[in-house]
């Protein structure tokens, strides 16, 4: 079960959301953006469909958009900062993409080095502060990472991400595996295997998490929570709160209050 001691949010930049947290455990979940996680204190066991590893203080690790991952600290709560850069932010750090292509971050973990130490030092400032230094340090870290650019149908991860985009486009009522497979142009059993191999959860669960990712975007855009619940296809605001807490470990009001503070 997800167990979070604390979490705060702030916009460092229009294309860069930041979270600071202390947590014991996170159930499998996903985010709609890239995630750059900086361990500031402690040790944790992290797993995803792409990699599984123990990370330590000073390490930086990475997830792609819609990559399901989970973690558990070793001992007490692990403390960490997460930076959620947009695709636009990544355009300055990695290979450009053409319409329809998918950029995938291949690097799993960067062990503590000079570049990661600079990012850790930049993040030591109060959350929401020293944006320019954090942005430049993050760019340097991302320039040390490996990326690939693929056609949407070339890999299991790409198939899952394509299905996710279709779910986002069509809403929660178009999540039948047969319908998704027909739209993508693959066999339903192949789509199901791709989900289980790469994501580890069924499309219906994936769709619920995608709605949380959509809710996060809307909250960051300044919408009220009751409007977010409706726009992201939740039954009501309490339904949004329950699903949001499964992903972030805190209610959506924490994010809403954090991003209402303008980036400095």
Contact in structure between 29 and 177 (CB atoms under 8 Å): no
Model confidence at 25, pLDDT cuts 50, 70, 90, reads: very high
Mean pLDDT across the stretch 62-83? Answer: 92
Q: Are residues 15 and 113 in the same domain?
A: yes
Model confidence at 175, pLDDT cuts 50, 70, 90, reads: low
Q: Say if 264 falls within a structural domain.
A: no
Tokens 């040790």 sit at which residue? 43
Query: Hey, which bits of 200-256 come out as E strands?
Result: none
Mean pLDDT across the stretch 139-155? Answer: 81
Q: Are residues 18 and 119 in the same domain?
A: yes
Q: Are residues 117 and 230 in the same domain?
A: no
Q: Are residues 72 and 124 in the same domain?
A: yes
Structural domain of 166: 156-259
Model confidence at 158, pLDDT cuts 50, 70, 90, reads: low
Provide the CATH number for the domain around residue 177.
1.10.10.60
More confident residue, 248 or 204: 248
Question: 213: which 2 tokens?
Answer: 């990712």
pLDDT tops 60 at residue 154: no
Question: What's the number of domains the chain is made of?
Answer: 2
Q: Are residues 23 and 142 in the same domain?
A: yes
Model confidence at 156, pLDDT cuts 50, 70, 90, reads: low
More confident residue, 208 or 96: 208
DSSP 8-state code for residue 97: -
Q: Are residues 18 and 132 in the same domain?
A: yes
The reported pLDDT for the residue numbered 173 is: 57
Mean pLDDT across the stretch 142-150? Answer: 89
Q: Are residues 123 and 161 in the same domain?
A: no
The reported pLDDT for the residue numbered 192 is: 78
pLDDT tops 90 at residue 177: no
Model confidence at 219, pLDDT cuts 50, 70, 90, reads: very high
Model confidence at 157, pLDDT cuts 50, 70, 90, reads: low
Provide the CATH number for the domain around residue 55.
2.60.120.10
Q: pTM for the whole thing?
A: 0.84
Beta bridge partners, 19, equal 9, 82
Mean pLDDT across the stretch 115-134? Answer: 85
Question: 252: which 2 tokens?
Answer: 């959506």
């Amino acid at each position: 079960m997800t167990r979070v001691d604390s979490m705060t949010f702030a916009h460092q930049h229009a294309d860069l959301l930041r979270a600071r947290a202390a947590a014991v455990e996170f159930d499998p979940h996903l985010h709609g953006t890239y995630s750059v996680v900086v361990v500031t204190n402690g040790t944790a066991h992290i797993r995803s469909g792409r990699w599984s590893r123990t990370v330590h203080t000073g390490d930086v690790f990475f997830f792609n958009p819609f990559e399901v991952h989970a973690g558990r600290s070793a001992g007490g709560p692990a403390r960490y900062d997460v930076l959620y850069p947009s695709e636009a932010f990544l355009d300055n750090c990695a290979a450009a993409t053409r319409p329809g292509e998918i950029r995938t971050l291949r690097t799993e973990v960067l062990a503590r080095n000079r570049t990661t130490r600079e990012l850790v030092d930049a993040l030591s400032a109060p959350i929401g502060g020293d944006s320019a230094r954090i942005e430049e340090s993050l760019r340097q870290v991302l320039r040390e990472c490996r990326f690939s650019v693929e056609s949407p149908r070339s890999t299991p991860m790409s198939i899952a991400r394509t299905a996710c985009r279709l779910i986002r486009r069509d809403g929660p009522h178009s999540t039948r595996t047969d319908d998704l497979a027909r739209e993508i142009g693959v066999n339903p059993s192949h789509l199901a295997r791709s989900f289980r191999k790469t994501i580890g959860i069924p499309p219906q669960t994936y769709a619920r998490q995608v709605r949380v990712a959509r809710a996060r975007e809307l909250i960051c855009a300044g919408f009220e929570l009751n409007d977010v619940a409706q726009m992201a296809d939740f039954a009501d605001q309490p339904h949004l709160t329950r699903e949001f807490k499964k992903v972030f470990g805190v209610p959506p009001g924490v994010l809403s209050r954090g991003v209402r503070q303008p980036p400095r």
